[in-house]
Amino acid sequence: MDLLAQILVNGTLQGGLYAVMALGLALVWGVLNIVNLAHGAFIMLGGYASWYLYTYAHIDPFLGLPLTAAVMFGLGYGLQRGLLNLVIRAPMFNTLLITFGLEVVLTYLAQLVFSADFRTINPPYAGNSLAWGPVVLPLARLAAFGVAIVLTVGMWLFLLHTRLGRAIRATAQNLVAARLYGVEPRHLYAMTFGLGIALAGAAGTLYGTVSQINPYIGASLTAKSFAISIIGGLENPLGVIVGGLFLGIVESLTTLYIGQTFADVASFGILVLVLIVRPSGLLGKTT
């Protein structure tokens, strides 16, 4: 029983990390209709940014998180204005190609600049844990989970209640109507992409604190984020939290009862099931 409780806690905490990883991908996908295959590569870059901040400037990863996010926002904004705007109205295949190309370029640039060595953001408290009865709560994961919840709920409130958030949603729903009301799509798209990349950067910071960073982590993180976005649905950020938690818990239980090698089978199996049964996600509209 203790073991089951511990496994559920592990899955939940893992799920929080998953959610923050997928948040940016879902936002960009939902609003710009771009499946950003380079999303995982941006998570990797965010991880390196925080690693440098921590190792050379001794800035705690959680405190440095806004800084990393801000840098990544600038990168995302620029990339959207300079590169992705060129294909924003093109068929989806073109956007897939260009983001895939970006993924490859970023990965190999990262290897050139950072080398293939793996890095860990390892502040002294990273390995600490809290005991909650028989259940152990790893501190760094708990903090990452907290940040994930704050970011997701913050994102949700931002989209619902701010002027910019409403403009983003309006553009996603009906571009022509949004333009008639004075929304400037180029700026807005770049803001959205910048936000998505900032979230990826934040996720990279958290990922580097609990796991390890090397130039090649991107592709598998993109795949996971993709699955979570589909499972949760693109309609609202809370769907991503649900998708992330669901996946985290399912993977943990699969490892316990069936075997770790089946964890990916379970998560991508669920992806297929969701696509068949609820194509707009667990929290999506029923059509």
Partner 1 sequence: MSSRHSRLLAGLFAIAAASASAGAALAQEVVLGASVQLTGPVANTGRYYRDAYQLAIDKINAAGGVKIAGQSHKLALKLYDNQSDVNLSVRQYTQLVSQDKVNLLLGPFASNFALADSAVSEKYKVPMVQGGGASDQIFARKFKYIFGTLAPASNYFGSTVGMLKSLKPAPQSVALLYADDAFDVSVAEGTRPMLKQAGLNVVMDERYSTNATDFNSLLSQIKSKNADVVLVAGHETEILNFVRQAKSLAVAPKLYSFTVGVPSEDFRKALGKDAEYAFGMTAWLPTTALKDRWFGDAEKFAKEYKAKFGYDPDYHAASGAADVETLVQAMEDAGSADPQKVRDALAKVKFESLYGPIAFNAQGQIELPQMVIQVQGGAVAEIYGAKGFVKQPKYPMPAWDAR
Interacting residues toward partner 1 by CB under 8 A: 2-3, 6-7, 10-11, 13-14, 108, 111, 115-120, 122, 126-129, 131, 136, 138-141, 210-212, 214, 216, 220, 251-252, 255-256, 259-261, 263-264
Q: How far is the CB of 71 from partner 1 (least distance, A)?
A: 23
Of residues 126 and 282, the one with the C-beta less far from partner 1: 126
Residue with tokens 């769907």: 239
Residue with tokens 């709920």: 153
Of residues 237 and 248, the one with the C-beta less far from partner 1: 248
Of residues 66 and 134, the one with the C-beta less far from partner 1: 134
Q: How far is the CB of 253 from partner 1 (least distance, A)?
A: 8
Taking CB atoms within 8 Å and a gap of at least 24, the contacts of 104-112 are: 106/38, 106/41, 106/42, 106/44, 106/45, 106/218, 107/41, 107/44, 107/215, 107/216, 107/218, 107/219, 108/215, 110/41, 110/44, 110/45, 110/48, 110/215, 111/215
Residue 135's φ and ψ, nearest 5 degrees, are: -95, 135
Of residues 115 and 174, the one with the C-beta less far from partner 1: 115
What does the block give as tokens for 254? 């699969």
Q: How far is the CB of 7 from partner 1 (least distance, A)?
A: 5
Element spanning 109, H or E = helix 92-114
Q: How far is the CB of 273 from partner 1 (least distance, A)?
A: 20
Residue with tokens 């509209």: 285
Q: How far is the CB of 274 from partner 1 (least distance, A)?
A: 21
Of residues 2 and 58, the one with the C-beta less far from partner 1: 2
